[in-house]
Amino acid sequence: MPKKNQTLGEFIIENQSDFPYSSGELSRLINSIRLAAKVVNHEVNKAGLVDIIGAYGETNVQGEDQQKLDVYANNKFIQTLTNREIVCGIASEENDDFIQIEGHKGDHQNKYVVLMDPLDGSSNIDVNVSVGTIFSIYRRVTPMGTPVQLEDFLQPGNRQVAAGYIIYGTSTMLVYTTGHGVNGFTLNPALGSWYLSHPDMKFPENGQIYSINEGNYVHFPQGVKDYIKYCQEEKGDRPYTSRYIGSMVSDIHRNMIKGGIFMYPKSSKASDGKLRLLYECNPMAYLTEQAGGKASDGFKRILDIKPTELHQRVPFFCGSKKMVEKAEEFMKKAEYGSQSQPFSFSSK
């Protein structure tokens, strides 16, 4: 059992034995992420005092307006990971293509690739709402000593060796897993150190919070509409509470602690969904499963999806296991159960 209040550095050293094949690189990689997170946190906390909020004036590959902090966070994480010479490649939601990284001898000997959303929820930064960074780590599949290739990034989520997020909120936390449970570390800004504050994090098996942008209700599939009505029905432990921040990291972090479901389904406006499989859904799904929850696209496990492109989008349902399973029931009934009785509400 992890020891509460030990530093992240101590925790990493203590748990290196979980990775006999790593020779310390994965630990150094996590250390690089924590360093970049501290730098980005410092900049996020200056929003409003310096010219760091607002639009950058360009769009990313998704066609979304880039915020100044998007660009800053992206550059800072890429710079830190590159300078430490730990990874052979990086893919970011903010970049059109992946980045090949040579070792200091140009030998391409590093084992890992990192995929990231450098600043999730950045449109909220100018209204002082929590934002976050999401990261995912894989071992390369192409031969060491050769330049990294697209196939090193297009791996299903079940092959991740580590994943996590940093939430920049009332306190700054780094939450991550290396396949041996989920642990959360809180930054002490006075000392610049991360301390284990949330050991062995677990989703409650059930919950009473549902998180979805109900403003898009008319565009949702029928199964999602039926599940929302189920959540709102006054029966048993329902109605559930609706809580939607609009920052995926914040919504899932809250639901992991309190119990709930986060949903971003496909819609008539986004036929494949909006969230990116590689940068958002896979790392969050890996964390969710390691914390005893469930993550799916409404029909199948997220981590079993074989990616076909870097910026692939998928529908996403994740959270407390029983809540996700109930949402899947409504999705499957609406999709395949034309002969079934339609969902009915109590007259209460």
Could you read off the pLDDT of 193-244 as tens digits, one per residue? 999 999 999 999 999 999 999 999 999 999 999 999 999 999 999 999 999 9
Predicted confidence (pLDDT) at residue 29 exceeds the cutoff of 70: yes
State the pLDDT at residue 105.
61
127 part of a folded domain: yes
Range of the domain at 147: 8-198
Task: Say if residue 145 is in the same domain as residue 238.
Answer: no
Task: Say if residue 181 is in the same domain as residue 222.
Answer: no
d(CA 122, CA 67): 7
Task: Say if residue 164 is in the same domain as residue 221.
Answer: no
Task: Say if residue 219 is in the same domain as residue 185.
Answer: no
Q: Last residue of a domain, which of 198, 217, 247?
A: 198
State how many domains the chain has. Answer: 2
State the pLDDT at residue 21.
60
108 part of a folded domain: yes
Q: Does 213 count as an annotated binding residue?
A: yes
pLDDT top residue among 121 and 150 = 150
Q: Does 292 count as an annotated binding residue?
A: no
Q: Does 217 count as an annotated binding residue?
A: no
Task: Say if residue 37 is in the same domain as residue 165.
Answer: yes
Q: Does 93 count as an annotated binding residue?
A: yes
State the pLDDT at residue 51.
46
Q: What is the DSSP string of 75-136?
A: HHHHHHHHHTT-EEEEEETTSSS-EE---TTS-----EEEEEEEEETGGGGGGT--EEEEEE
Between CA 117 and CA 63, with CA 82 as vertex, the angle to 5 degrees is: 30
State the pLDDT at residue 224.
98
Q: What is the CATH number of the domain that holds 113?
A: 3.30.540.10
Q: Does 121 count as an annotated binding residue?
A: yes
Are the CB atoms for 232 and 238 separated by under 8 Å?
yes
Q: What is the largest CA-CA distance in the chain?
A: 72
151 part of a folded domain: yes
Task: Say if residue 167 is in the same domain as residue 86.
Answer: yes
Per DSSP, the three-state class of 245 is coil
List, for residues 273-285, the tens digit of each pLDDT value.
999 999 999 999 9
137 part of a folded domain: yes
299 part of a folded domain: yes
Q: Does 244 count as an annotated binding residue?
A: yes
Angle between helical axes of 222-232 and 321-336 (0-180°, round to 10): 130
State the pLDDT at residue 213.
97
Q: Last residue of a domain, which of 198, 227, 262?
A: 198
% the chain with pLDDT above 90: 71
343 part of a folded domain: no
State the pLDDT at residue 272.
95
Confidence (pTM): 0.90
Predicted confidence (pLDDT) at residue 342 exceeds the cutoff of 50: no
State the pLDDT at residue 118.
95
Predicted confidence (pLDDT) at residue 258 exceeds the cutoff of 60: yes
Q: Does 136 count as an annotated binding residue?
A: no
Task: Say if residue 180 is in the same domain as residue 267.
Answer: no
Q: Does 289 count as an annotated binding residue?
A: no
Q: Does 117 count as an annotated binding residue?
A: yes
Task: Say if residue 194 is in the same domain as residue 233.
Answer: no
Task: Say if residue 187 is in the same domain as residue 224.
Answer: no
List, for residues 55-93, the tens digit of each pLDDT value.
544 555 555 555 678 888 999 999 999 988 789 999 999
Distance of CA 47 to the CA centre of its chain: 23
267 part of a folded domain: yes
Are the CB atoms for 265 and 103 separated by under 8 Å?
no
Q: Among 10-14, 33-37, 276-280, 287-291, which stretch is predicted with the lowest mean pLDDT?
A: 10-14
Predicted confidence (pLDDT) at residue 30 exceeds the cutoff of 50: yes
Average pLDDT along the chain: 89
Q: Last residue of a domain, which of 147, 174, 198?
A: 198
d(CA 255, CA 178): 21
235 part of a folded domain: yes
Mean pLDDT of 133-161: 96
Task: Say if residue 245 is in the same domain as residue 320.
Answer: yes
Q: Among 13-17, 143-147, 177-181, 206-210, which stretch is predicted with the lowest mean pLDDT?
A: 13-17
Return the H-helix or E-strand segment holding 333.
helix 321-336
State the pLDDT at residue 68.
78
Task: Say if residue 316 is in the same domain as residue 235.
Answer: yes
Mean pLDDT of 111-136: 90
Q: Does 280 count as an annotated binding residue?
A: yes
Task: Say if residue 290 is in the same domain as residue 262.
Answer: yes
List, for residues 2-27, the tens digit of each pLDDT value.
777 899 999 988 887 776 565 678 88
pLDDT top residue among 19 and 175 = 175
Mean pLDDT of 103-126: 83
Q: What is the CATH number of the domain that holds 270?
A: 3.40.190.80
d(CA 142, CA 113): 11
